[in-house]
Amino acid sequence: MTEPMEPFILHAPQGQAVPIIANLPHSGMMVPEAIAAQFAPTQLKSLPNTDWHLDQLYRSLPMLGMTVLQATHSRYVVDLNRQLQEPIFGSFWSSVIPEQTAFGKPIYVATPSLEQLQERVEKFYVPYHRKLTQLLQKTIVDFGKVYLLDLHSFFGPITEAVCLGNRNGKTCSEHLMASVETHFRRKNYQVVRNKVFNGGYITGHYGQMAGVEALQIEVRYHVYLNAAELERSQPPTWDIPKFHVAKHAIDDIFGAIVHDLTEDNV
């Protein structure tokens, strides 16, 4: 695989910018060749628990004035939604570099060395979070505050279409939470708050910054992907009618959210 020079793609707002940053930390699918050589072939092929094709689902957000930061590499290279702490190599749920998938399946046939693990952190994790911090700080300077939307997708363990997480009320205002909930519901999506997905590291960490309101938005795979493809040992396709219907709804939803969050600044 050809490795991008940067661990992220930055999509600048088109037209008039708004104080909203969207973050896609788990939609990347790149695995550098040296790391891929250490992966179990099955896991390299399937890359389970990826936030499939959110880059496509949310590709219109810059046209609404949002800044979008998108990870390029797989969460198995480095998980940007985990706190940088020891051990950096271990549990899927707590380590920056997971040793197993969420289903407990081994990712590696050859265990990476400590030096290789630390190199990944410096090459992929640190620059991403440095850039996200810079974007948040700049937006606060420009607008006085910033809304961070941490965008994810999921298969289980819940069956609702959308789950909104703000660490049980700690990382964003009711105004932001209610706006997102209302506009998803208006498109007939079942929405729950803080049910299992109550906000990961990114939402919790940046939601503590002065001037930042952070909200995790989880959309179930079945909303925009073919359910029959979700059990395959390879990534599902996105260019299907169901996806385009969902994207049209998403565009309307986020357009309405932007209006709600910026109407006081007009």
Is residue 229 classed as helix, strand or coil in its secondary structure?
helix
Q: Residue 44's pLDDT is what?
A: 87
DSSP H/E element including 40: none
Instruction: Copy the structure tokens of residue 211.
Output: 């001037």
Q: And the tokens for 223?
A: 């909303």
Place of tokens 């440095």: 130
**Regarding beta strands 20-24 and 8-11, do their DSSP bridges make them parallel or antiparallel, or are they unpaired?**
unpaired
Q: How, if at all, do strands 8-11 and 67-71 pair?
A: antiparallel
Phi, psi values for residue 106, rounded to 5°: -60, 135
pTM of this structure: 0.94
Tokens 């565009």 -> residue: 251
Do residues 202 and 80 make contact, with C-beta atoms less than 8 angstroms apart? Answer: yes
pLDDT in tens, the chain (266 residues): 445 568 999 999 998 999 999 999 999 999 999 999 999 998 888 898 999 999 999 999 999 999 999 999 999 999 999 999 999 999 999 999 999 998 899 999 999 999 999 999 999 999 999 999 999 999 999 999 999 999 999 998 999 999 999 999 999 999 999 999 999 999 999 999 999 999 999 999 999 999 999 999 999 999 999 998 888 778 999 999 999 999 999 999 999 999 999 985 54
Q: How far is CA 246 from CA 47, 71, 92, 94, in A?
A: 23, 22, 29, 31
Q: Give the C-alpha separation, 28 to 7, whole Å.
A: 9
What residue spans of the chain are helical by DSSP H? Answer: 33-36, 41-46, 54-57, 114-120, 126-143, 174-186, 201-206, 221-224, 241-262
CA atoms within 13 A on the CB side of 60: 13
Cβ-based burial of 265 (10 A; exposed 0-12, middle 13-18, buried ≥19): exposed
Cα(253)–Cα(187) distance, integer angstroms = 8
